[in-house]
Amino acid sequence: MNDLLRENGCDEGYEGNAQSFRIVTKLALHRDKYPGLDLTRCALNAVLKYPWMNGSGQERKWGAYSHEREDFSWARELYSDPGDRRKSVEAEIMDWADDITYAVHDLEDFYRAGLIPLELFASGENSEKEQFLNGVKLRAEKGGPGSVNKNKVSDYIDAFKALGLVFPVVTEPYRGSRLQRATLRTQNSGLISRYISALKLQIPADNEESYVSINEDFRLEIAMLKQLTWHYVILTPSLATQQYGLQKIISDLFNIYKDDKEFRLVPSWILCNLEDDVSHERKVADIISSMTDAQAIQMHQRLTGAHPGSIRDWI
């Protein structure tokens, strides 16, 4: 979506965090008297994982498009220093909770699905563990999405080895037995409690210090648990081929709606939420972003003729 927008003259492209802010301030429907959800400053700041505008000298992520500058400025108005780019305490807590979810719940889900072989890490044979750790090292050297800091690889590996006591409870592939399910619940509850306790609120000493502190050892552990998902799921050909197909769906939908100047092909429930004062291409991005995965796939099948459906289908 980012590439498609930039290729069609939208310099800001597409950024998921900025789109989330756009949804809650402009696109979501709550009352017909105002756009968006009419959230408080506190709620909007909790959404801002990257509390700066595009083009402010930061790297590839940002919190709001220029279309939402007024909403962004209002949300951040009470910060004494206009250049203060720290996340709010609520955003810090949300961010850490998100990390815990990816690390713990994703790990359980993919183990249950037979994609992450946790049972091999508990056995006397360490070949699986060594292959995993070598993969972490290699990705760190290459850099890119999902890799850990190559200058701290040894710290990450030590943290993972310290977690070794977690894995012996998983000794066989998931079968769904009562004992397995109970064991997983106990293990995950312990991990979640462990990582919740890692976060402490603090009064910042200056504008550079965060509102929370998180135990660095636990940060390393969380990062390595997420590496398991990268190693066994995200970087596999089965997911890569699926992502390729989904990119094709997004590209096709973008081009179809770009050529549909009157938006005759857009579901009415999306069309009524579009803004008038943005470019046609930005509206197209808003349309596609308003769909769930299943809705986008179904619409693509309908519009390309792969499965045209019925005139009686509600869309």
For residues 62 and 44, what is the distance between their CA atoms, to the nearest angstrom? 14
The two three-digit tokens of residue 3, written as one number: 């590439």
Degrees, nearest 5: CA angle 145-5-39 = 80
User: How many whole angstroms separate alpha carbon 15 and alpha carbon 179?
Assistant: 43
State mean pLDDT over 36-65: 87
pLDDT at 166 over 70: no
DSSP 75: H
Give yes or no for residue 56 having a pLDDT over 60.
Answer: no
Q: Which whole number is the average pLDDT over 252-272? A: 93
Over residues 242-261, mean pLDDT = 96
pLDDT attached to residue 187: 87
Position 272 pLDDT exceeds 60: yes
**274-298 residue pLDDT tens:** 888 899 999 999 999 999 999 999 9
Q: What is the pLDDT of residues 144-165, one digit of tens each?
A: 888 999 999 999 999 998 887 6
- The pLDDT assigned to 218 comes to 94
C-alpha span between 132 and 145 (Å, rounded): 17
pLDDT tens digits, residue range 83-112?
A: 788 899 999 999 999 999 999 999 999 999
- Confidence check: pLDDT of 167 > 70: no
How much is the pLDDT for 78?
84
pLDDT at 55 over 80: no
In whole angstroms, what is the distance from residue 79 CA to residue 10 CA? Answer: 30
Residue range 176-184: mean pLDDT, rounded: 90
